[in-house]
Amino acid sequence: MTYVEGFVLAVPANAKDAYRDHAADAVALFKEFGVRRHVECWGADVPVGKVNDFRTAVQAKEGEEIVFSWFEYPDRAARDAATEKMMSDPRMQAMGAAMPFDGQRMIVAGFASIVEEGLGGPMGYTDGFLVAVPTANRDAYRALAEKAAVVLLDHGATRVLECWGDDVPDGKVTDYRRAVHAGADENIVFSWIEWPDRETRVAGWDKIMADDRMRHDPADQCFDGKRMIYGGFAPILDA
C-alpha cells in the first residue's frame, strides 16, 4: 500500500505565490528521486482548537498560514532511497537555501497507509487530520476508519487515506508527537479526505453527520478526540 511522507508547515500569507512556485520548481526533481505524487494544500478553513490545532503544531506566527502537504511512494524502500538521494544532491541544498518559510518549524514524518479507499480524481479540497492513537488500538482504529471511509465515499469524497506513524522523528523545535500531545504509548495518524471541490465537501459532511452508520457508542472511542487536529485545505499543487 501507499507510503506517505507527511508535512505540516507555516508559510507567510504574503509568500503564497513564492511558495507555490518553489514547490512547482521541485516537482521534476522529486519525481526523479521517486516521488509518485506530490501535493501541497493551503489552509482554507483551519480552526483554532481548545487543546491543540494546526497552528500550534508548527508554532505559526501572526500573518502565517498552514500548509498540509505530502509525498506518495509505492513503499518505504522507495521513500528511503529517495531520502538518501535528496540528502546528497547539491540541487536540494540550493533549494533549501531559497525556502520561503521557516524550515525549523516544519514537521515531517513517514507513514504507512492502513486504510486507502477511493479511486481519487481531480481534487479541489482536502480535509486533513492528525490523531494520537494508543498503539494497542491500531486494529480498532483501522476498523473504525474503514467503516467511516465507506460513508465518506458514499457522500461525495473521492479518496480516503489513513496512515500510521512508521518513522516519526523527534524534532528540535516541533514534531508530530508534540503537535497532538502524544503519550509514550501512542502513535501518530496522518490522514486526509479528498473532495472534488469545497461545495461537495460541505454538502457531504451534512449528509455524513446525519448518516446512521456514523453513530457509535462513545465508550468505544479508540482515541482521544479532544487532541485530534483537523482543518480544510485547498490544493495549490497536485503533481
C-alpha cell of 67?
Answer: 500548509
* Over residues 137-155, mean pLDDT: 97
Residue 47 identity: P
CA 215 to chain centre: 25
Cα–Cα dist 70/41, whole Å: 9
Per-residue pLDDT of 208-228, as tens digits, reads 999 999 987 776 789 999 999
- pLDDT by residue (tens digit) across 45-97? 999 999 999 999 999 999 999 999 999 999 999 999 999 999 999 999 888 88
**Amino acid in the structure at residue 139:** D
Could you tell me if 20 and 40 are in contact, meaning their C-beta atoms sit under 8 angstroms apart? yes
- All cell numbers assigned to 142: 483501522
pTM beyond 0.85: the answer is: yes
DSSP bridge partners of 36:
none
Structure confidence by residue, pLDDT tens digits, 166-222 = 999 999 999 999 999 999 999 999 999 999 999 999 999 999 999 999 987 776 789
What percent of the chain lies above the pLDDT cut of 70? 99
Q: Measure the CA–CA gap between 109 and 169, rounded to whole angstroms.
A: 7
The pLDDT of residue 212: 94
Q: Please say whether the beta carbons of 34 and 27 come within 8 A.
A: no
Q: What does the pLDDT look like over 6-31, one tens digit per residue?
A: 999 999 999 999 999 999 999 999 99
DSSP H or E run through 176: helix 176-179
Which residues are registered as beta bridge partners of 73? 3
